[in-house]
Amino acid sequence: MLTERQREIVKATVPLLETGGEALTTHFYKTMLAEYPEVRPLFNQAHQQSGAQPRALAHSVLMYARNIDRLEGLGNLPAQIIAKHVALQVQAEHYPIVGACLLRAIREVLGAEIATDEVIAAWGAAYQQLADILIAAERSVYEQTAAAEGGWRGARDFKLVRKEAESSEITSFYLEPVDGGAVIAHQPGQYIGLRVVIDGVEQRRNYSLSAASNGCSLRISVKREQGGKVSSYLHDQVQVGDVLQLFAPSGHFTLQEGSKPLVLISGGVGITPTLPMLQAALPTGRAITFIHCARDRGVHAFREKIDALAAANAQLTRHYCYDQMQPGDAAAESNVQGHLSAEQLGQWLPASRDADVYFLGPRGFMRSVKQSLKELGVPDAQVHYEFFGPAEALA
């Protein structure tokens, strides 16, 4: 239990975290991943190398320190963390490892003069408080998922029954359980965890589910990332008939019921979770605006499917934004060239702005869209977004 004195000590470290949090978390990851190989599969090494994972953790630690007196101020952050942990199968026994390495990093980066025994004790208590909350929440999710029809806990074997190229970069993988049993219903926008062993090294990744729940199979659509170890393995080596190990669907970024106009905005492979959202929303009759941005038509996945849905459903309007236009990509088809500006977005949004908006894509794209939506007057409470990798601030 945190004492009042310990709370004050944690809050007093906020200025240090604001200026040096990323250095601290970078040292933390370097130590933990070097000394505890059992946790390495839980972390994408590409995110380590790019600095995305240390930045994300620094942001989370800072938010926690700022809100140590009122955890409700963390907003959706705990739910996002819990969903990511569940999708990767983080377990209670992993938390002491993280805690020990975090306290060690605080001591080694800040120095003994600042990171006194009292400061370390305060942060130890603060970390344990957060760990207890997350462990309990994750245990509840694991139990509920395992008890649900078609649910499971841990890894489950799925066979690849179909592999289909959706664009020059994105391929869909259709997966059915080897045991022939039912598959738990997932919510539009959720993702699965995937475990593979490549060259003797275990890797875990999250991939959005790109098709609506049907009770018997799952579909993921994966972009080949430059230098991506797992995406390249899936594209080049995994073939129909092969077996992959999946963790049950998870995710906080899900379509909520409503009657307001719905706007789905995506960039690149961010289109994948918007597809089941679109499928779920169409039968409700609500007005839907579907906006997708890509480098060019060649990398634009699912265009023909979206065009067909728009032709068959009067309430669906679609718009595409390409960095480079190609023959046939005329503005008359509601396509524009260049980045999605606030002015262009304003022309495509419902006139009332009283809409539910969901968006995701690369970080820079999301930052721009978030700012544009604010400028255009869309209520903050009706704006929803998700990150592909570690959760980072969009400021």
- The catalytic residues are 95, 138
Token pair 């200025």 is at which residue? 15
Distance CA 172, CA 279 (A): 17
Q: What is the spatial distance between Cα 30 and Cα 203, in angstroms, rounded to a whole number? A: 18
Q: Are 153 and 142 in contact (CB under 8 A)?
A: yes
Burial class from Cβ neighbours inside 10 Å (0-12, 13-18, 19+) for residue 380 reads exposed
**Alpha-carbon span 392 to 131, nearest angstrom:** 20
28-38 exposure pattern, b = at least 16 Cβ within 10 A, e = fewer? bbebbbeeeee
> Could you give the CA distance from residue 286 to residue 266 in angstroms, rounded to a whole number?
19
Q: Count the residues in the chain.
A: 395
Residues 159 and 241: beta-carbon distance below 8 Å: yes
Look up residue 168 and give its DSSP letter.
Answer: S
Please give the Cα distance from 141 to 29 (Å, whole number): 27
Tokens standing for residue 85: 């942990």
- Which residues in the chain belong to E strands, given as ranges? 156-165, 170-177, 191-198, 201-208, 218-223, 243-250, 262-267, 288-294, 316-322, 335-337, 356-360, 383-385
* Euclidean distance between CA atoms 253 and 288, whole angstroms: 18
Q: What pairing do the DSSP bridges indicate for beta strands 316-322 and 335-337?
A: parallel
Strand partners, 158: 177, 244
Residues linked to residue 207 through DSSP beta bridges, in sequence order: 192
Q: List residues bridging with 194 in a β-sheet.
A: 205, 246
- β-pair partners for 206: 193
Which residues are within 8 A (CB) of 199 and not within 5 positions of it... i.e. 6 or more apart?
none
Distances (CA, A) of 39 to 33, 78, 296, 390: 7, 20, 39, 16
